[in-house]
């Protein structure tokens, strides 16, 4: 396979299903190495080599690809490799968007539940949710960066216009030889006829120009092919732009979810702190009350001592002790309340 696409071993290693490398789109001399989520393939000018072709998701991609290529006959100016790339982007975008939507559906009710009832179970679920969110955000971010980088670099986009490169190479090698009769078979069963013939015409006209004008030929021809190339690159850029908006929208969703989680955590933290303060306020009130009651108990204890004093003989001493102690106790309690209110420790 390496020989077929003229790819070095180190590029193919990136598609190895055993390792999980981040999403990448690399333009090479004769192939585009695509590693977008599940879809790991090598796109050449007239083939798509799918690597992990047993995955149901990838099979779906292959079927869709074949279906679309059949439609192509109805007139579509995009070269083969761009169509394959578009389909890979579309598949990756919709896959990621579906995962993001799934995460959203799960997350929002869970977070709202968490604000009303904080339990270890819910916290654990939110933690797992965050792990998944971070992982998904990274993957979406990676795809987005890859698209953005491709759009920014015209050279990379030109490099991807494989059909043009192949044409040029062939025309320089075979001359006017027939360009028909290519057999292309995808490694994963994707067999499509290469979109060679319609694109070959500019090359031929270029050849004519070459014989016509000697000194200007080279300049013009490059100009001429440049025009076609530039047009196709612009189409590729527009294609990428559209999917960039889609993946950016997915990323937006995930970032919103992340910020919602962060806000919820802030809310929970302040809420927990606030509840704790209220709990401690009541505890302080109860401690104050217990203190007053303890004083009452001490008074009762004092008069329960077995000493023989004349106090016990005083008339109505029992009532007086109870009344005086009660009044003092209530006074102490109210003083504390007033003091706490004065210190603004309690919203009494």
Please list every residue from 298 through 337 that binds a copy of itself, using CB under 8 A.
298, 300-309, 311-313, 317-319, 321-322
Q: At what angle do helices 197-212 and 162-174 cross, to 10 degrees?
A: 50
Q: How many CB atoms lie within 10 A of CB 127?
A: 9
The residue from 273, 334, 338, 341 that contacts a copy of itself (CB under 8 A) is 273
Quick one: which segment of 42-50, 167-175, 205-213, 282-290 binds a copy of itself (CB under 8 A)? Answer: 282-290
Quick one: which segment of 64-72, 163-171, 188-196, 265-273 binds a copy of itself (CB under 8 A)? Answer: 265-273
**Which CA distances in Å does 266 have to 115, 234, 259, 261, 285?**
10, 46, 10, 9, 29
Residues 176 and 208: beta-carbon distance below 8 Å: no
Residues 311 and 303: beta-carbon distance below 8 Å: yes
Instruction: Decide: is 3 part of the binding site for a copy of itself (CB under 8 A).
Output: no
Q: How far is the CB of 157 from a copy of itself (least distance, A)?
A: 13
Quick one: which segment of 39-47, 67-75, 171-179, 262-270 binds a copy of itself (CB under 8 A)? Answer: 262-270
Q: Is 25 helix (H, G, I), strand (E, B) or coil?
A: strand
Interatomic CA distance for residues 288 and 282, integer angstroms = 10
Residues 77 and 234: beta-carbon distance below 8 Å: no
C-beta of 21 vs 212, nearer to a copy of itself: 21
Q: Which of residues 112-141 bind a copy of itself (CB under 8 A)?
A: 115, 117-120, 123-124, 126-127, 130-131, 134-135, 138
Q: How far is the CB of 120 from a copy of itself (least distance, A)?
A: 6
Q: How far is the CB of 13 from a copy of itself (least distance, A)?
A: 8
């Amino acid at each position: 396979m390496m020989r077929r696409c003229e790819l070095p071993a180190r590029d193919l290693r990136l598609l190895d299903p055993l390792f999980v490398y981040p999403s990448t789109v690399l333009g090479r001399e004769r192939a585009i190495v695509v590693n977008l989520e599940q879809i790991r393939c090598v796109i050449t000018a007239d083939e798509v080599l799918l690597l992990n072709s047993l995955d149901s998701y990838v099979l779906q991609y292959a079927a869709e690809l074949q279906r679309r290529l059949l439609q192509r006959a109805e007139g579509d100016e995009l070269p083969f490799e761009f169509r394959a790339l578009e389909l890979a982007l579309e598949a990756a975008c919709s896959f990621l968007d579906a995962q993001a939507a799934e995460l959203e559906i799960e997350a929002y009710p869970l977070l709202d539940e968490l604000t009303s009832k904080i339990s270890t179970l819910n916290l654990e679920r939110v933690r797992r949710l965050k792990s998944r969110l971070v992982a998904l955000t990274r993957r979406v971010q990676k795809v987005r960066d890859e698209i953005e980088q491709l759009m920014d670099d015209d050279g990379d986009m030109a490099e991807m216009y494989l059909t043009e490169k192949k044409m040029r190479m062939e025309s320089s090698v075979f001359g006017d030889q027939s360009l028909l009769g290519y057999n292309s078979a995808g490694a994963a069963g994707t067999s499509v006829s290469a979109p060679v013939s319609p694109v070959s015409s500019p090359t031929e006209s270029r050849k004519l120009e070459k014989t016509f004008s000697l000194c200007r030929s080279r300049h013009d021809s490059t100009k001429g092919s440049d025009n076609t190339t530039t047009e196709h690159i612009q189409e590729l850029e527009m294609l990428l732009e559209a999917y960039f908006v889609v993946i950016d929208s997915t990323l937006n969703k995930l970032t919103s979810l992340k910020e919602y989680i962060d806000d919820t955590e802030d809310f929970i933290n302040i809420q927990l702190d606030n509840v704790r303060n209220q709990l401690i306020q009541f505890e302080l009130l109860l401690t104050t009350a217990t203190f007053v009651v303890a004083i009452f108990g001490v008074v009762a204890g004092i008069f329960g001592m077995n000493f023989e004093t004349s106090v016990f003989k005083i008339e109505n001493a029992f009532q007086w002790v109870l009344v005086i102690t009660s009044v003092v106790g209530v006074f102490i309690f109210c003083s504390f309340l007033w003091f706490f209110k004065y210190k603004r420790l309690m919203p009494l």
